[in-house]
Protein backbone atom coordinates (compact mmCIF):
# COMPACT_ATOMS: atom_id res chain seq x y z
CA UNK A 1 0.00 0.00 0.00
CA UNK A 2 1.40 3.35 -1.04
CA UNK A 3 0.49 5.13 2.21
CA UNK A 4 1.36 2.45 4.76
CA UNK A 5 4.88 3.69 5.66
CA UNK A 6 4.08 7.40 5.56
CA UNK A 7 1.04 6.94 7.80
CA UNK A 8 3.15 5.55 10.63
CA UNK A 9 5.68 8.38 10.27
CA UNK A 10 2.81 10.85 10.31
CA UNK A 11 1.43 9.44 13.55
CA UNK A 12 4.69 9.85 15.44
CA UNK A 13 5.01 13.44 14.25
CA UNK A 14 1.57 14.55 15.42
CA UNK A 15 0.01 12.33 18.04
CA UNK A 16 2.58 13.14 20.68
CA UNK A 17 2.15 16.92 20.39
CA UNK A 18 0.49 18.63 23.33
CA UNK A 19 -2.97 19.96 22.65
CA UNK A 20 -3.32 23.74 22.86
CA UNK A 21 -6.09 26.24 22.50
CA UNK A 22 -6.09 27.34 18.89
CA UNK A 23 -7.86 30.50 17.82
CA UNK A 24 -10.14 30.20 14.78
CA UNK A 25 -8.75 31.89 11.70
CA UNK A 26 -11.79 34.18 11.85
CA UNK A 27 -10.29 35.84 14.94
CA UNK A 28 -7.48 38.38 14.97
CA UNK A 29 -3.86 37.55 15.76
CA UNK A 30 -4.11 33.82 15.08
CA UNK A 31 -0.88 32.17 13.99
CA UNK A 32 -0.35 28.92 12.10
CA UNK A 33 1.94 26.54 13.98
CA UNK A 34 4.72 24.46 12.44
CA UNK A 35 2.88 21.17 12.84
CA UNK A 36 -0.18 22.76 11.24
CA UNK A 37 1.88 23.87 8.26
CA UNK A 38 3.06 20.28 7.87
CA UNK A 39 -0.59 19.22 7.88
CA UNK A 40 -1.22 21.55 4.94
CA UNK A 41 1.73 20.10 3.03
CA UNK A 42 0.47 16.62 3.72
CA UNK A 43 -3.03 17.65 2.61
CA UNK A 44 -1.75 18.81 -0.76
CA UNK A 45 0.16 15.56 -1.27
CA UNK A 46 -2.96 13.51 -0.59
CA UNK A 47 -5.11 15.73 -2.80
CA UNK A 48 -2.68 15.28 -5.70
CA UNK A 49 -3.20 11.52 -5.44
CA UNK A 50 -6.98 11.81 -5.09
CA UNK A 51 -7.30 14.29 -7.96
CA UNK A 52 -5.47 11.89 -10.26
CA UNK A 53 -7.30 8.78 -9.09
CA UNK A 54 -10.16 8.99 -11.60
CA UNK A 55 -12.72 9.65 -8.87
CA UNK A 56 -13.13 13.37 -9.55
CA UNK A 57 -16.43 14.38 -11.11
CA UNK A 58 -15.18 17.02 -13.49
CA UNK A 59 -17.79 19.60 -14.39
CA UNK A 60 -16.60 23.22 -14.22
CA UNK A 61 -20.13 24.60 -14.18
CA UNK A 62 -21.08 22.56 -11.10
CA UNK A 63 -17.76 23.31 -9.39
CA UNK A 64 -18.19 27.03 -9.96
CA UNK A 65 -21.73 26.89 -8.61
CA UNK A 66 -20.68 25.05 -5.44
CA UNK A 67 -17.82 27.45 -4.90
CA UNK A 68 -20.20 30.38 -5.32
CA UNK A 69 -22.34 28.98 -2.49
CA UNK A 70 -19.28 28.62 -0.28
CA UNK A 71 -18.24 32.20 -1.04
CA UNK A 72 -21.51 33.48 0.45
CA UNK A 73 -20.67 31.96 3.83
CA UNK A 74 -17.39 33.73 4.62
CA UNK A 75 -15.98 37.20 3.84
CA UNK A 76 -12.95 37.55 1.60
CA UNK A 77 -10.54 38.02 4.52
CA UNK A 78 -11.25 34.45 5.66
CA UNK A 79 -10.46 33.22 2.15
CA UNK A 80 -7.08 34.97 2.43
CA UNK A 81 -6.20 32.63 5.29
CA UNK A 82 -7.93 29.53 3.93
CA UNK A 83 -8.50 29.53 0.15
CA UNK A 84 -11.55 27.27 0.13
CA UNK A 85 -12.06 25.13 -2.95
CA UNK A 86 -14.92 22.67 -3.55
CA UNK A 87 -14.59 19.51 -5.66
CA UNK A 88 -16.95 16.63 -6.46
CA UNK A 89 -16.21 12.93 -6.15
CA UNK A 90 -17.99 10.22 -8.15
CA UNK A 91 -19.57 8.22 -5.37
CA UNK A 92 -23.31 7.66 -4.74
CA UNK A 93 -22.95 7.39 -0.96
CA UNK A 94 -23.76 10.30 1.34
CA UNK A 95 -20.58 12.09 2.35
CA UNK A 96 -18.48 15.25 2.27
CA UNK A 97 -15.19 15.98 3.98
CA UNK A 98 -12.63 18.76 4.29
CA UNK A 99 -8.86 18.88 4.38
CA UNK A 100 -7.35 21.42 6.81
CA UNK A 101 -6.15 23.63 3.93
CA UNK A 102 -9.76 24.33 2.90
CA UNK A 103 -10.19 21.83 0.07
CA UNK A 104 -13.61 20.22 0.44
CA UNK A 105 -14.78 17.11 -1.41
CA UNK A 106 -18.51 16.49 -1.85
CA UNK A 107 -19.84 13.13 -3.04
CA UNK A 108 -22.21 13.15 -5.98
CA UNK A 109 -24.57 11.06 -3.81
CA UNK A 110 -25.20 13.81 -1.30
CA UNK A 111 -25.49 16.49 -3.98
CA UNK A 112 -27.91 14.45 -6.09
CA UNK A 113 -30.23 13.81 -3.15
CA UNK A 114 -30.26 17.39 -1.86
CA UNK A 115 -33.34 19.44 -2.63
CA UNK A 116 -32.02 22.97 -2.62
CA UNK A 117 -29.09 25.32 -2.23
CA UNK A 118 -29.78 25.95 1.46
CA UNK A 119 -29.18 22.28 2.31
CA UNK A 120 -25.83 22.25 0.51
CA UNK A 121 -24.92 25.58 2.13
CA UNK A 122 -25.44 23.91 5.53
CA UNK A 123 -23.22 21.02 4.48
CA UNK A 124 -20.45 23.31 3.22
CA UNK A 125 -20.69 25.58 6.28
CA UNK A 126 -20.17 22.55 8.52
CA UNK A 127 -17.08 21.42 6.60
CA UNK A 128 -15.68 24.96 6.33
CA UNK A 129 -15.94 25.30 10.10
CA UNK A 130 -13.71 22.25 10.53
CA UNK A 131 -11.11 24.25 8.60
CA UNK A 132 -11.57 27.71 10.13
CA UNK A 133 -11.58 26.27 13.66
CA UNK A 134 -8.53 24.13 12.92
CA UNK A 135 -10.09 20.86 13.96
CA UNK A 136 -7.59 18.70 12.09
CA UNK A 137 -4.59 19.86 14.09
CA UNK A 138 -6.60 19.68 17.30
CA UNK A 139 -7.50 16.12 16.35
CA UNK A 140 -3.91 15.10 15.80
CA UNK A 141 -2.67 16.81 18.94
CA UNK A 142 -5.12 15.03 21.16
CA UNK A 143 -3.79 11.87 22.74
CA UNK A 144 -7.40 10.74 23.08
CA UNK A 145 -7.55 10.38 19.30
CA UNK A 146 -4.87 7.71 19.01
CA UNK A 147 -7.62 5.14 18.53
CA UNK A 148 -9.04 7.18 15.66
CA UNK A 149 -5.63 7.40 14.01
CA UNK A 150 -5.09 3.65 14.18
CA UNK A 151 -8.66 3.07 12.98
CA UNK A 152 -7.84 5.22 9.96
CA UNK A 153 -4.76 3.11 9.26
CA UNK A 154 -6.83 -0.04 9.42
CA UNK A 155 -9.49 1.31 7.04
CA UNK A 156 -6.97 2.90 4.67
CA UNK A 157 -4.80 -0.20 4.34
CA UNK A 158 -7.60 -2.79 4.44
CA UNK A 159 -8.55 -4.57 1.25
CA UNK A 160 -12.01 -3.07 1.01
CA UNK A 161 -14.10 -3.91 -2.01
CA UNK A 162 -16.43 -1.83 -4.14
CA UNK A 163 -16.45 1.88 -4.90
CA UNK A 164 -16.32 2.89 -1.25
CA UNK A 165 -13.21 0.85 -0.63
CA UNK A 166 -11.53 2.22 -3.75
CA UNK A 167 -12.03 5.79 -2.58
CA UNK A 168 -10.87 4.90 0.93
CA UNK A 169 -7.64 3.54 -0.54
CA UNK A 170 -7.14 6.75 -2.53
CA UNK A 171 -7.64 9.05 0.45
CA UNK A 172 -4.51 8.61 2.57
CA UNK A 173 -4.35 9.23 6.32
CA UNK A 174 -5.73 12.77 6.59
CA UNK A 175 -8.52 12.15 4.10
CA UNK A 176 -9.49 8.90 5.79
CA UNK A 177 -9.71 10.58 9.18
CA UNK A 178 -11.88 13.36 7.76
CA UNK A 179 -14.08 11.19 5.54
CA UNK A 180 -14.37 7.93 7.46
CA UNK A 181 -13.43 8.29 11.10
CA UNK A 182 -14.63 11.84 11.56
CA UNK A 183 -13.98 14.19 14.45
CA UNK A 184 -15.01 13.92 18.07
CA UNK A 185 -18.62 14.57 19.02
CA UNK A 186 -17.52 17.86 20.56
CA UNK A 187 -15.86 19.09 17.34
CA UNK A 188 -18.71 17.86 15.14
CA UNK A 189 -21.20 19.65 17.37
CA UNK A 190 -19.07 22.80 17.16
CA UNK A 191 -19.06 22.57 13.37
CA UNK A 192 -22.85 22.18 13.41
CA UNK A 193 -23.32 25.22 15.65
CA UNK A 194 -20.89 27.58 13.91
CA UNK A 195 -21.91 26.37 10.46
CA UNK A 196 -25.56 26.92 11.29
CA UNK A 197 -24.88 30.56 12.17
CA UNK A 198 -23.02 30.98 8.90
CA UNK A 199 -26.01 29.93 6.83
CA UNK A 200 -28.40 32.08 8.86
CA UNK A 201 -26.12 35.10 8.44
CA UNK A 202 -26.00 34.39 4.70
CA UNK A 203 -29.80 34.51 4.58
CA UNK A 204 -30.52 30.80 4.07
CA UNK A 205 -33.56 29.08 5.55
CA UNK A 206 -32.40 27.55 8.87
CA UNK A 207 -35.00 24.77 8.68
CA UNK A 208 -33.16 23.24 5.71
CA UNK A 209 -30.01 22.55 7.76
CA UNK A 210 -30.99 19.15 9.21
CA UNK A 211 -32.74 17.79 6.13
CA UNK A 212 -29.73 16.13 4.51
CA UNK A 213 -29.28 14.06 7.65
CA UNK A 214 -32.97 13.17 7.57
CA UNK A 215 -32.50 11.94 3.98
CA UNK A 216 -29.50 9.87 5.06
CA UNK A 217 -31.43 8.39 7.95
CA UNK A 218 -34.17 7.35 5.51
CA UNK A 219 -31.59 5.84 3.15
CA UNK A 220 -30.04 3.79 5.94
CA UNK A 221 -33.51 2.56 6.93
CA UNK A 222 -34.29 1.57 3.36
CA UNK A 223 -31.00 -0.29 3.02
CA UNK A 224 -31.61 -1.93 6.41
CA UNK A 225 -28.19 -0.91 7.66
CA UNK A 226 -27.42 0.24 11.19
CA UNK A 227 -25.09 2.96 9.94
CA UNK A 228 -23.65 3.90 6.56
CA UNK A 229 -19.96 3.26 5.96
CA UNK A 230 -18.82 6.86 5.92
CA UNK A 231 -20.90 7.88 8.92
CA UNK A 232 -20.03 4.81 10.97
CA UNK A 233 -17.80 6.69 13.41
CA UNK A 234 -19.44 10.08 13.11
CA UNK A 235 -21.92 11.18 15.77
CA UNK A 236 -25.20 9.39 15.28
CA UNK A 237 -27.50 10.89 12.70
CA UNK A 238 -30.31 11.52 15.13
CA UNK A 239 -27.84 13.40 17.30
CA UNK A 240 -26.90 15.64 14.38
CA UNK A 241 -30.55 16.32 13.58
CA UNK A 242 -31.19 17.17 17.21
CA UNK A 243 -28.18 19.53 17.23
CA UNK A 244 -29.75 21.67 14.51
CA UNK A 245 -33.23 21.54 16.02
CA UNK A 246 -31.84 22.59 19.40
CA UNK A 247 -30.18 25.65 17.84
CA UNK A 248 -33.38 26.56 16.02
CA UNK A 249 -35.31 26.35 19.28
CA UNK A 250 -32.80 28.11 21.56
CA UNK A 251 -32.22 30.96 19.11
CA UNK A 252 -35.96 31.36 18.48
CA UNK A 253 -35.74 30.72 14.74
CA UNK A 254 -38.84 28.53 14.44
CA UNK A 255 -40.70 31.17 12.45
CA UNK A 256 -37.72 32.39 10.45
CA UNK A 257 -37.65 31.70 6.73
CA UNK A 258 -34.93 32.39 4.22
CA UNK A 259 -33.34 31.53 0.89
CA UNK A 260 -33.78 28.02 -0.53
CA UNK A 261 -33.01 28.54 -4.25
CA UNK A 262 -34.52 25.18 -5.21
CA UNK A 263 -34.94 25.93 -8.93
CA UNK A 264 -31.47 27.42 -9.34
CA UNK A 265 -29.94 24.50 -7.49
CA UNK A 266 -31.69 21.79 -9.51
CA UNK A 267 -30.93 23.54 -12.80
CA UNK A 268 -27.22 23.57 -11.97
CA UNK A 269 -26.90 20.00 -10.73
CA UNK A 270 -29.36 18.09 -12.93
CA UNK A 271 -26.60 16.24 -14.81
CA UNK A 272 -25.13 15.12 -11.48
CA UNK A 273 -28.50 13.59 -10.56
CA UNK A 274 -28.54 11.35 -13.66
CA UNK A 275 -24.85 10.46 -13.46
CA UNK A 276 -25.23 9.54 -9.81
CA UNK A 277 -28.25 7.35 -10.66
CA UNK A 278 -25.98 5.46 -13.05
CA UNK A 279 -23.42 5.01 -10.25
CA UNK A 280 -26.19 3.63 -8.03
CA UNK A 281 -27.21 1.28 -10.84
CA UNK A 282 -23.65 -0.05 -11.15
CA UNK A 283 -23.62 -0.82 -7.42
CA UNK A 284 -26.96 -2.63 -7.66
CA UNK A 285 -28.74 0.07 -5.63
CA UNK A 286 -31.77 -0.15 -7.92
CA UNK A 287 -34.25 1.67 -5.71
CA UNK A 288 -31.97 4.68 -5.28
CA UNK A 289 -31.09 4.64 -8.96
CA UNK A 290 -34.77 4.72 -9.91
CA UNK A 291 -35.45 7.59 -7.52
CA UNK A 292 -32.57 9.52 -9.06
CA UNK A 293 -33.73 9.01 -12.64
CA UNK A 294 -37.30 9.96 -11.78
CA UNK A 295 -36.04 13.11 -10.07
CA UNK A 296 -33.99 13.93 -13.17
CA UNK A 297 -36.92 13.36 -15.53
CA UNK A 298 -38.95 15.95 -13.65
CA UNK A 299 -36.28 18.44 -14.77
CA UNK A 300 -35.57 17.08 -18.25
CA UNK A 301 -38.01 14.69 -19.89
CA UNK A 302 -36.21 14.65 -23.25
CA UNK A 303 -33.07 12.77 -22.31
CA UNK A 304 -32.92 9.29 -23.93
CA UNK A 305 -30.24 8.12 -21.52
CA UNK A 306 -32.62 8.58 -18.57
CA UNK A 307 -35.23 6.23 -20.06
CA UNK A 308 -32.47 3.80 -21.02
CA UNK A 309 -31.26 3.74 -17.39
CA UNK A 310 -34.82 2.99 -16.22
CA UNK A 311 -34.86 0.14 -18.71
CA UNK A 312 -31.59 -1.16 -17.26
CA UNK A 313 -32.97 -0.95 -13.70
CA UNK A 314 -36.00 -3.12 -14.50
CA UNK A 315 -33.84 -5.44 -16.59
CA UNK A 316 -31.13 -6.02 -13.97
CA UNK A 317 -33.02 -5.98 -10.68
CA UNK A 318 -33.20 -9.65 -9.76
CA UNK A 319 -35.79 -9.13 -7.03
CA UNK A 320 -38.14 -6.57 -8.53
CA UNK A 321 -37.27 -6.78 -12.19
CA UNK A 322 -39.94 -6.43 -14.85
CA UNK A 323 -38.82 -7.25 -18.37
CA UNK A 324 -41.93 -5.75 -19.97
CA UNK A 325 -41.32 -2.42 -18.21
CA UNK A 326 -37.71 -2.68 -19.28
CA UNK A 327 -38.73 -3.08 -22.92
CA UNK A 328 -41.14 -0.16 -22.64
CA UNK A 329 -38.41 2.14 -21.29
CA UNK A 330 -35.89 1.04 -23.94
CA UNK A 331 -38.48 1.86 -26.61
CA UNK A 332 -39.25 5.19 -24.92
CA UNK A 333 -35.54 6.01 -25.09
CA UNK A 334 -35.58 5.30 -28.83
CA UNK A 335 -38.75 7.36 -29.30
CA UNK A 336 -37.07 10.37 -27.66
CA UNK A 337 -33.93 10.00 -29.80
CA UNK A 338 -33.87 7.35 -32.57
CA UNK A 339 -30.13 7.94 -33.02
CA UNK A 340 -29.26 6.92 -29.45
CA UNK A 341 -27.73 3.43 -29.90
CA UNK A 342 -27.68 1.78 -26.44
CA UNK A 343 -31.34 0.67 -26.17
CA UNK A 344 -31.15 -1.07 -29.57
CA UNK A 345 -28.44 -3.37 -28.26
CA UNK A 346 -30.34 -4.21 -25.06
CA UNK A 347 -33.58 -4.83 -26.93
CA UNK A 348 -31.68 -7.15 -29.25
CA UNK A 349 -30.40 -9.14 -26.26
CA UNK A 350 -33.83 -9.24 -24.60
CA UNK A 351 -35.57 -10.47 -27.76
CA UNK A 352 -32.79 -12.97 -28.46
CA UNK A 353 -33.28 -14.49 -25.00
CA UNK A 354 -37.03 -14.62 -25.62
CA UNK A 355 -36.49 -16.50 -28.87
CA UNK A 356 -37.70 -13.58 -31.01
CA UNK A 357 -34.76 -13.83 -33.36
CA UNK A 358 -36.15 -11.71 -36.18
CA UNK A 359 -36.70 -8.79 -33.80
CA UNK A 360 -33.34 -9.42 -32.15
CA UNK A 361 -31.55 -9.25 -35.55
CA UNK A 362 -33.27 -5.97 -36.42
CA UNK A 363 -32.25 -4.28 -33.17
CA UNK A 364 -28.68 -5.64 -33.27
CA UNK A 365 -28.20 -4.42 -36.84
CA UNK A 366 -29.63 -1.00 -35.96
CA UNK A 367 -27.29 -0.77 -32.99
CA UNK A 368 -24.21 -1.53 -35.10
CA UNK A 369 -25.27 0.95 -37.80
CA UNK A 370 -25.62 3.72 -35.19
CA UNK A 371 -22.46 2.82 -33.26
CA UNK A 372 -19.79 2.31 -35.88
CA UNK A 373 -17.00 2.27 -33.28
CA UNK A 374 -18.90 0.08 -30.80
CA UNK A 375 -16.39 -1.56 -28.42
CA UNK A 376 -18.62 -4.63 -28.23
CA UNK A 377 -19.04 -4.99 -32.01
CA UNK A 378 -17.57 -8.51 -32.11
CA UNK A 379 -19.82 -9.57 -29.23
CA UNK A 380 -22.95 -8.35 -31.03
CA UNK A 381 -21.78 -9.85 -34.32
CA UNK A 382 -21.50 -13.22 -32.57
CA UNK A 383 -25.19 -12.95 -31.70
CA UNK A 384 -26.01 -12.22 -35.34
CA UNK A 385 -24.02 -15.26 -36.51
CA UNK A 386 -25.94 -17.46 -34.09
CA UNK A 387 -29.21 -16.06 -35.41
CA UNK A 388 -28.19 -16.73 -39.01
pLDDT in tens, 199-210: 999 999 999 999
Q: How many CB atoms lie within 10 A of CB 239?
A: 14
Q: What is the pLDDT of residues 210-251, one digit of tens each?
A: 998 887 777 777 766 544 444 444 446 778 788 888 888 888
Q: What would the mean pLDDT of 27-33 be, rounded to a whole number?
A: 84
Give per-residue pLDDT as tens, 35-74. Answer: 888 889 888 999 998 999 899 999 999 999 999 999 999 9
Cα dihedral 142/144/150/156 (nearest 10)? -60
pLDDT at 294 over 50: yes
Q: Which fold has domain 284-387?
A: 1.25.40
Q: How confident is the model at residue 266 (pLDDT cuts 50, 70, 90)?
A: very high
**pLDDT tens by residue, 145-185:** 555 555 544 444 444 344 444 666 667 667 766 666 667 78
E strand or H helix at 89 = strand 85-89
pLDDT for position 1: 34
β partners of residue 204: 259
The whole-number pLDDT of residue 17 equals 43
Average pLDDT over residues 371-383: 95
Q: Is 12 exposed, middle or buried (0-12, 13-18, 19+ CB in 10 A)?
A: exposed
| pLDDT value of position 232 | 42
Domain ranges for the chain: 4-250, 284-387
What average pLDDT score do residues 257-271 get?
96
Please name the helix (run of DSSP H) or strand (run of DSSP E) that holds residue 86, with its range, or none.
Answer: strand 85-89
Residue 118 pLDDT exceeds 90: yes
pLDDT band at residue 321, thresholds of 50, 70 and 90? confident
10 Å Cβ neighbour count for 184? 16
Please give the C-alpha separations between residue 35 and each of 12, 31, 205, 353, in angstroms, as whole numbers.
12, 12, 38, 63
Amino acid sequence: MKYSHSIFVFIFIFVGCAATNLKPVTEKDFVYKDDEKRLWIRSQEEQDVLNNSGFLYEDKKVEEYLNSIAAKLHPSEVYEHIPFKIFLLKDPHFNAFAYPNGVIYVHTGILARAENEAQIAALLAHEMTHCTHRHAVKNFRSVKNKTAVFAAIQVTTAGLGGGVGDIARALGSLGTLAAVTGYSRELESKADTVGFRLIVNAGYDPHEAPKLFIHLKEEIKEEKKSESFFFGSHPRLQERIQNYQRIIDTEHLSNKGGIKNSDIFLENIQDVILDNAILDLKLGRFKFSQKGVEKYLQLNSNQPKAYFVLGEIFNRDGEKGDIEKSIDYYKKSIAVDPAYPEPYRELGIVYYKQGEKVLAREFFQQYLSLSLQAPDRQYIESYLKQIE
